[in-house]
Amino acid sequence: MEHVIEKWPGNVYELTIGATKEDGGTRSRKVKAGGINTLPFLHFEGLTPNQPLIAMEVWDIEPSEWPENLKNEFNEVLNNAAQWAKKCEDLGADLICLRLLSADPDGKNASATEVARTVKDVLSATSIPLMILGCGNNEKDSSIIMDISQIAKGENCLIGMAVKENFKTFTAAAQAGGHSLIAETPLDINLEKQLNILISDMGFGSDRIVIHPSTGGVGYGFEYCYTIIERTRLASLSNDKMMSQPIITFVGQETWKIKECKADETEKPEWGSLKERGVLWEIATASGYLQAGSDILVMNHPKAVNEIKNHINKLMEK
């Protein structure tokens, strides 16, 4: 029986993150996301030149809301972002995702100078590419992003989050520092495309944008997120250049805040071991987003990272 082969007219932009000495940076290697011209892992239909990347999260303050069984994996480094980042590099992360939560006005309210110093320390302590996120407060993030961009200038980082309220400031900062940009929208494919257009209209290359359509963990909006990512990927393969960017999903962030990954066995004995439950939940969520079309997974637990890296290697076998 003859196989029916789907040939798509479009492809996902290939994005490079990181800059080596030859590129004017200090990273030991660069990583690439995207470039695919078929649906995920259908090697018989097209090219998948780059396997999905795994970033590991590092915070510049101790994450108080993390459950103990996750914090225990990083106990000795939780109060030192540079050491934490180095440990993630040693654990096999493709890139570091640095969250500057200390800048939150409702928390420590760290200054632009303070968070820029943290970025510099992390760059000095590690050799892999860096992703840099603000604290989630749009006004404060806008006030610190230019300092962050400048301290990391030449390193070709991935910075975020650019949203409707602050995309002009973030785009200008990314342009000035030579970085790529994460564009985040609620779960709406039209808003997603609109934000990409607005950023591109400022003269920023549409091939330097990464889409974050929002992320939901298994059991918490996962199915809807999956369909939005799938529709985005189909649009890119249909040659819509404003939907052809790589996609990022924040798997760990959504996994470890849910009750199933925090409730003790004495409270919910039917849910099984708390120590293993969160790891399995993170693995299941990441596995699903790989099939949807995610190009970059941001994860937390070392065991989950290891399992998904092995899973990706198997999926990449032709």
pTM score of the predicted model: 0.96
Binned at pLDDT 50, 70 and 90, residue 264 comes out as confident
Give the other-Cβ count within 10 Å of 117's Cβ. Answer: 15
Mean per-residue pLDDT for 255-262?
Answer: 89
The answer on pLDDT for 218 being more than 80 is yes
Q: In 3-state terms, what secondary structure has residue 150? A: helix
- Token couple for 179: 């970085």
Mean per-residue pLDDT for 31-35?
Answer: 98
Binned at pLDDT 50, 70 and 90, residue 174 comes out as very high
The answer on pLDDT for 34 being more than 80 is yes
Superfamily of domain 14-315: Dihydropteroate synthase-like (3.20.20.20)
Mean pLDDT (the chain) is 95
* Predicted local distance difference test score (pLDDT) of residue 62: 95
Binned at pLDDT 50, 70 and 90, residue 271 comes out as confident
What does each C-alpha distance from 160 to 93, 182, 207 come to in angstroms? 19, 5, 16
Q: Regarding beta strands 14-17 and 31-34, do their DSSP bridges make them parallel or antiparallel, or are they unpaired?
A: antiparallel
Which one-letter amino acid corresponds to residue 280?
L
